[in-house]
Structure 1
């Protein structure tokens, strides 16, 4: 299992990197087929957010759904402990679901957005006025709206058709409030999202044009 630890707006010490690797050994108990784990430590420099200035995001990639957890705290060790707690719970949930509902293994890439998808520059066109759309899965393109400070970031994801039930399951695994997918029955672009309590909503798009 490959473990990638990186920092954003902060340096990752060898001591903390070793601590992360020790913590992640627990993952193999729940996800023995995990191929790679990405861990990102982000520092928020705003003094007003000192209590949550350190954010940890952990993403597990294997032959099944992507599983992600994130948490914030005043120090990186505390954030890691919180994120690991969420991650282990989601791994347990995924393991239990496989026992109850065995499914054919497939590769799925979640259509989810993270704060990085909105705030972090990835690629800037040579001409700020040039409007481009990403054409390769994983590619991200940023454009500036005229002379304004507004920057629009577009990223292309691969979509694997699935049921609403599977989309809800994968939304829970990545820990986001919504999840974009293609319905495998209607072929419609859809989004599932949390409403309140244990209720969810589904937004469907009629993509027929003409």
Structure 2
């Protein structure tokens, strides 16, 4: 069963908006097992140029569903993000269910929900999406995050792995969708 945590940025979350979000996103419950308890974290943003962004994150045991959509209409963005979540589940259902069985996870398998079953060819095509086609070996040099961002930009990559000179942990800098930078720190 899904519960909802809905918050708004630059918008008041009225009862009608809350009801619409819950009605639309509850559609994915048909894919979750009956005994799965999850909270859908929904963030609604309205920008000054009248664009509406909807972000949904649903942490499940051993898996997190996440989708976001931007459009000129808040309700359209809610519809689009719901469709995107359903497509994600349909696309990865076979792989997630197989991995769950292999690892012995409980309460993780997606239900069929009257979805047309994947053919063997489609399943194999989806499997090949995760095939590792190249392996690189890195020797990490100690540096600070500003130098790592510079290296990342010089290489034209979207992320860069390095050893932090101060903490001696392996960290990752990455370019966010908004063009700014993020940092993932490892260790304690």
Structure 2 length-normalised TM: 0.52
Indicate the SS of the match to 1:66. Answer: strand
CA distance in 2, matches of 1:31, 1:94: 13
- How far 1:205 moved relative to its partner? 4.2
CA distance in 1, matches of 2:21, 2:39: 14
- How far 1:82 moved relative to its partner? 1.0
Contact 1:56-1:76 within 8 A present in 2 as well: yes
Is 1:35 aligned to 2:8, yes or no?
no
CA distance in 2, matches of 1:72, 1:207: 35
Residue in 1 that maps onto 2:67: 69
- How far 1:31 moved relative to its partner? 2.5
More helix by share: 2
CA distance in 1, matches of 2:77, 2:66: 14
CA distance in 2, matches of 1:9, 1:202: 31
- How far 1:204 moved relative to its partner? 5.0
C-alpha change, 1:78 and 1:27, in structure 2 (3 Å) is same
- 1:94-133 correspondence runs (5 A): 94-102=92-100, 103-104=102-103, 105=105
- How far 1:30 moved relative to its partner? 1.6
Contact 1:31-1:91 within 8 A present in 2 as well: no
Contact 1:28-1:34 within 8 A present in 2 as well: no
Indicate the SS of the match to 1:11. Answer: coil
Structure 1 length-normalised TM: 0.47
Residue in 1 that maps onto 2:4: 3
Give the root-mean-square deviation of aligned CA atoms.
3.1
Deviations 1:104-137 (A, max 9, x none): 339xxxxxxxxxxxxxxxxxxxxxxxxxxxxxxx
Size of the aligned set, in residue pairs, is: 115
Contact 1:69-1:86 within 8 A present in 2 as well: yes
Larger Rg: 2
C-alpha change, 1:93 and 1:21, in structure 2 (3 Å) is same
Contact 1:3-1:39 within 8 A present in 2 as well: yes
CA distance in 1, matches of 2:21, 2:160: 38
- How far 1:203 moved relative to its partner? 5.6
Residue in 1 that maps onto 2:86: 88
Indicate the SS of the match to 1:40. Answer: strand
5+ unaligned residues in a row in structure 1: which ranges? 107-167, 170-185, 189-200
- How far 1:206 moved relative to its partner? 6.0
| Divergent runs of 4+, >4 A | 201-209
